[in-house]
Chain A
Amino acid sequence: MNGADALVKCLEEEGVKYVFGYPGVAICPFYDAILNTDIKTILIRTEQNAAHSASGMARLTGRPGVCAVTSGPGATNLITGIATAFADSIPLVCITGQVNSELIGSDVFQEADITGAVESFVKYSYLVKDAADIPRIVKEAFYIANSGRKGPVLIDFPIDVQQQKIRNFSYPEEVKLRTYKPTVKGNTLQIKKIVKELEKAKRPLICAGGGVRLADAKEELRSLVEELQIPVVSTMMGIGVMATEHPLYFGMVGNNGFPWANRAMKEADLIMMVGARVADRAVNQPERVMKDTVLIHIDVDPAEIGKNAGATIPIVGDARHILKELSEYEIDGEYGDWLRSLESYKQEMPVVRKPDPKYVDPAEFIRRLSLKLQDNAIYVADVGQNQIWSCKYHVVRNGRFLTTGGMGTMGYSIPAAVGAKLARPDRQVVAVCGDGSFQMSMMELATMRQYDIPVKIIVLKNNYLGMVRQYQHFTYDDRYSVVDLSGSPELEHIAAAYDMKFMRIRDMKDLDKHLDELLAKDEAYLCECIVDPMDLV
């Protein structure tokens, strides 16, 4: 047995089903060893997407997604995907081949100091020096990636160490990390303080972030708010934690959020942030919003508490544990008036759009698409105007809404949808992107074709980098610079080249018929929607 054999054995022990990657000489021992296992390999078309696909898979399975690429350019191409997972707190284990360990530091062919390069976007990284360390390292890597605040861990694996013979293999039962012990259980005294504040509060509001999903605390949150009748808003990463049409849910906050949700944040006398960072996009000027508000901040990462806003009651721990413990208290609160006023704000502050009937209205399209999707469908939104429309108009029921709210990496949706579909082949998976973000990942249509991964791709086409165009419209008085996408390929030809079904929707006529056709079968589809180039989110 050599180091590479040991690594794939460890992956089997961790229950890994898929590895996304791109080989090169420096990772060949690994890709040779994996042939002896039942782990399936997916050859993505560029390394960045290996990390995104692994991210899509991780978000569905709750286990770290795994990708493996070669040294040098393979490793550096992976960086944006790693940084995306880091910003979104998605657990990944990324394996990179490395040149012969004796040559490290001498700038040989395809050498890159990848552990140094990713230092600021990984939770931790390893450079394997002795194959005998592999079981311990892999055990630790999976544990670190998927505990505390989740995130990517990188294992850099020199080719000679992959080939190094080892005698004994045993996979450790548990990790022994002397220096890493994330807090899980919340402090009981702090929880009692929350109970007291909730009883005093007249206008409490819960703002749910991506951390609720990552802690698998959706049910705990829902039963707590239903019991107490507390309204909920969410950050972008928290979308889907509450069903969109839940009577206690008031939508996304932030500079792209709904006005009534932001008004709720302003008027609440108690805000409970759960697994949310209070970051710039969600809470503009936190010191102003929070001035006279009791701020309860529940987060697994102590460094997030107090980073952007000082909390009245900070509480570090796993959201699921804390919400569960909180629900064991009898809390005497009456918030009926507050709920009724939020309801009326929603009526008073409608979002008025004046879509041009010559085009597909993305807002209405997304709403109707999502209502036609299966109850548990997985919707992956890309980045750009399409992301904001998706966040605002997609109706989540028991499905999932995936997007990169933290890093905002264009091209995320297609590879992430590929990972999600492989994780949950029984569920509908739709990737919604713009014509800019589509072209950043369209090489993955080959991956879909090769492995028969039936994802529906919707391209909202306006021949512009719409989000930037909109910014230049407001900030530079329509002086457009480098936002024109008019050289884009005919998507119909692209679909044909990849043997995909294609559909073009030009306006809202017969939309239901188109959607029925699009969703009729579990097959890959490329659907182009022509949207108004001058539309604003």
Chain B
Amino acid sequence: MNKKVFQLLVENSSGVLSRISGLFSRRGYNIESITAGVTADPRYTRITIVASGDDEILDQIEKQVEKLVDVRNIKVLDPADSVYRELCLIKVEVSEDKREPLLALSNIFRANIVDVGPESLIIELLGNPSKIEAFLELLRGYTIAELARTGVTGLSRGLNDVVWLD
């Protein structure tokens, strides 16, 4: 199983997301995460999909998605040549006297504390997925009450493969 990050530029119209997610479910492709948001040009939405499968499946994903009428462009974000980011919010159950080490740990990871309650904290962490995984690994001793991840979004470096919108 390999993993690839696909970036799609699609029409910003109703039903696009369901067409794309429907394609994944009916052809049995695995989506690990999907994020979507409008681009600088409001006619288009940029979608980032992390998908896993063997090479043939990943190749088919690229071709089948490209075939959808609403899809202007799909490209693979090469890890060596792209920036990936994911935002993660973690609500940790922690009493006041045990907060200190958690704050220190958050500090090392440049995570922010965005909410403090008498028995809990919400930590906001931004980074690439491996940084988030590493942080979550270090939280093992704590009770994570709730966790929300946005999924990966990303851009390739430089101007080489930019799709200029007319």
Contacts and interface: CB of A to CB of B under 8 A. Distances in A.
A406 B15 CA distance: 27
Contacts of B10: 179
Interface in A110-139: 115-116, 119-120, 123-124, 127
A73 interface: no
A306 interface: yes
7 contacts: A120-B26, A123-B69, A179-B10, A301-B67, A302-B67, A303-B63, A303-B66
B75 interface: no
A144 interface: yes
Contacts of A306: 56, 59-60, 63
Contacts of A120: 22-23, 26
A119 B22 contact: yes
A127 to B, nearest CB: 8
A127 B63 CA distance: 26
Nearest to A123: B69
Contact of A119 (B11, B18, B66): B18
10 tightest A-B contacts by CB?
A: A303-B63, A179-B72, A124-B69, A180-B69, A120-B26, A303-B64, A302-B63, A119-B22, A303-B67, A179-B70
A116 B25 CA distance: 14
A149 B67 CA distance: 10
A411 to B, nearest CB: 25
Interface in A177-209: 177-180
A40 interface: no
B72 A115 contact: no
A307 interface: yes
A302 B67 CA distance: 8
A408 B69 CA distance: 26
Given A115-B15, A120-B22, A178-B11, A302 B69 contact: no
Interface in A303-333: 303, 306-307
A287 to B, nearest CB: 11
B110 interface: no
Interface residues of B, number: 21
Contacts of A149: 67
A178 B41 CA distance: 13
Contacts of B71: 179
Interface of B: 10-11, 15, 18-19, 22-23, 26, 43, 56, 59-60, 63-64, 66-67, 69-72, 166
Contacts of A302: 63, 66-67
A342 B19 CA distance: 47
Contact of A116 (B18, B56, B63): B18
Contacts of A178: 11, 43, 72, 166
Contacts of A307: 60, 63
Given A119-B18, A119-B19, A120-B26, A144 B72 contact: no
Contacts, number: 40
Chain A interface residue count: which class? 10 to 19
Interface centre among B11, B26, B63 (most CB of A within 10 A): B63
Contacts of B43: 178
A220 to B, nearest CB: 25
Interface centre among A120, A124, A149, A179 (most CB of B within 10 A): A179
A116 B69 CA distance: 16
B71 to A, nearest CB: 6
Contacts of B63: 302-303, 306-307
B65 to A, nearest CB: 9
Contacts of B60: 303, 306-307
Given A119-B22, A120-B22, A303-B60, A179 B15 contact: no
Interface string A158-170: 0000000000000
A312 B57 CA distance: 18
A149 to B, nearest CB: 8
Given A144-B69, A177-B69, 14 more contacts: A116-B18, A120-B26, A127-B15, A149-B67, A178-B43, A178-B166, A179-B10, A179-B70, A179-B72, A302-B63, A303-B63, A306-B60, A306-B63, A307-B63
A115 B63 CA distance: 23
A302 B60 CA distance: 9
B89 to A, nearest CB: 32
A123 B18 CA distance: 14
Nearest to A180: B69
Contacts of B64: 303
B132 to A, nearest CB: 33
A154 to B, nearest CB: 12
Given A119-B22, A303-B67, A179 B11 contact: yes
Interface in A275-320: 301-303, 306-307
Interface in A76-133: 115-116, 119-120, 123-124, 127
A149 B72 CA distance: 17
Contacts of A179: 10-11, 69-72
A127 B19 CA distance: 14
A306 B22 CA distance: 22
B7 to A, nearest CB: 15
Nearest to A301: B67
Nearest to A148: B67
Interface in A375-413: none
A298 to B, nearest CB: 16
A434 B163 CA distance: 54
B44 to A, nearest CB: 9
A351 B1 CA distance: 46
A124 B19 CA distance: 10
A489 B146 CA distance: 66
B105 to A, nearest CB: 45
